[in-house]
Amino acid sequence: MARITLDHLAHAYKADPRTPDDYALKEINHVWSQGGAYALLGPSGCGKTTLLNIISGLVRPTRGRVLFDDLDVTDLPTEARNIAQVFQFPVVYDTMSVRENLAFPLKNRRVPRDRTAQRVEEIARLLDLTRVLDRKASNLTADMKQKISLGRGLVRPDVAAILFDEPLTVIDPHLKWQLRSTLKEIHRALDITMIYVTHDQTEALTFADKVVVMHDGAVVQTGTPDELFERPAHTFVGHFIGSPGMNILPCRVEGATAVIGDQTIDLQRIYRVPSGGERIELGIRPEFVRLQQKGSGLPVQVRRIDDIGRARIARVEMSGRPLAASVPEGLSIEGSEAALALDPRHIHIYADGHLVSGEPIGGHRA
């Protein structure tokens, strides 16, 4: 059980990194608190797995330290850290039974046989593996094998954290849900820190209390699923999370007014945007953009309307820029002329991709 601290951590696979581009993982300072359920979310190649392998000790970071509580483990090998990892493809020892598989980490650590047996039974019960304990591990399905991999981590009573590297990739869709709830249950039951790497936002948002979004080797936002949805700290987060992602529109901002093309939009806060030639953008989630009849609001051209099950999403074009908007129930648009109403409370302003926090209008007046 431990708090995991990443202190000025950076990693480059190249021997002699100079520019920031040489780093697969740019400098990260982060604390994973004991007992948290974290998701590390990002597209392929953003450095998630590198970060995970640094925590587990399979990769030694180029710079910075990894601390378990107050102990510096940067130079400790994997086997000396109290960490377990579940990989993308299930790893089981083919020649052993499920029971022997689960007992393997304890056997290697010379735990007395009766304690091992007892612990294996406990973990098997937790993971619902009791039925198959005496079967060959190689004869089982992928989700069972993945449970065994997880079990080999859980069986060690001293394990500080369990790291998951896209563990559901090879699992059948209908079993993914089951396995994910098993993970949640175990997290609640055992008070273990779990770090779950994935590129699937649904997986991340349903599994984790806190989601760490990575992009291009750097952490762009850490927050609860709600925070990521309501206040994306970076246009990447806005775009990557949500389906469809956030609408991002280049604009000009003057005080509490945003100007897009020849349209002006009133904002609820005053933004002091930098004026050094930065890219200024307005972001709003499609959930907060409502399609309505032309006449009032921002005039747009409707391209098509997608039915995504619970809601309808309109794909529209405003001054040549594509946008997504939600279609209220019962609304039908004649022709392609329509308008948009933006909920000003959910408009965010970004400078070079980063969220600009505005000042309340009232505060400015005072």
Partner 1 sequence: MTKTVNNRAWLFVLPVFAIVAFSAVLPLMTVVNYSVQDTFGNNQFFWNGIGWFQELLDPSTELGGRFFDALWRTLLFSAIILMIEVPLGIAVALSMPREGWPVALCLVLMALPLLIPWNVVGTIWQVFARSDIGLLGWIVNHLGIDYNYTNDSLDAWVTLVVMDVWHWTSLVALLCYAGLKSIPDAYYQAARIDGASRWAIFRTIQLPKMRRVLLIAVLLRFMDSFMIYTEPFVITGGGPGNATTFLSIDLVKLALGQFDLGKAAAMSLVYNLIILAICWLFYTVMTNVDAERERVEA
Per CB under 8 A, residues contacting partner 1 are 53, 56, 58, 77-79, 83-85, 87-89, 91, 93-96, 104-105, 108-109, 136, 138-139, 149, 152-153
Helix (H) or strand (E) holding 315: strand 312-318
Q: Which residue has the tokens 């529109």?
A: 249
Residue 104: CB minimum distance to partner 1, A = 5
* Beta-strand pair 280-284/348-351: antiparallel
Residue 95: CB minimum distance to partner 1, A = 5
Of 87 and 122, CB closest to partner 1: 87
Which residue from 348, 213, 233, 235 is spatially nearest to 288, judged by alpha carbons? 348
Of 20 and 45, CB closest to partner 1: 45
Residue 124: CB minimum distance to partner 1, A = 17
Strands (E), 12-143: 25-32, 37-41, 63-68, 71-72, 83-86
Residue 109: CB minimum distance to partner 1, A = 5
Of 67 and 96, CB closest to partner 1: 96
Taking a C-beta distance cutoff of 8 angstroms, is the pair 360, 269 a contact? yes
- Per the DSSP assignment, residues forming a β-bridge with 106 are none
Residue 171: CB minimum distance to partner 1, A = 15
Which residue from 249, 332, 327 is spatially nearest to 291, judged by alpha carbons? 327
Of 41 and 155, CB closest to partner 1: 155
> First CA to last CA across the chain, in angstroms?
50
**Per-position DSSP letters for 112-177, written without gaps between them:** -HHHHHHHHHHHHHHHT-GGGTTSBGGGS-HHHHHHHHHHHHHTSTT--EEEEESTTTTS-HHHHH
Residue 78: CB minimum distance to partner 1, A = 5
* Beta-strand pair 71-72/25-32: unpaired
Which residue from 290, 303, 300 is spatially nearest to 331, judged by alpha carbons? 290
Residue 87: CB minimum distance to partner 1, A = 4
Of 24 and 83, CB closest to partner 1: 83
Of 137 and 349, CB closest to partner 1: 137
Of 159 and 237, CB closest to partner 1: 159
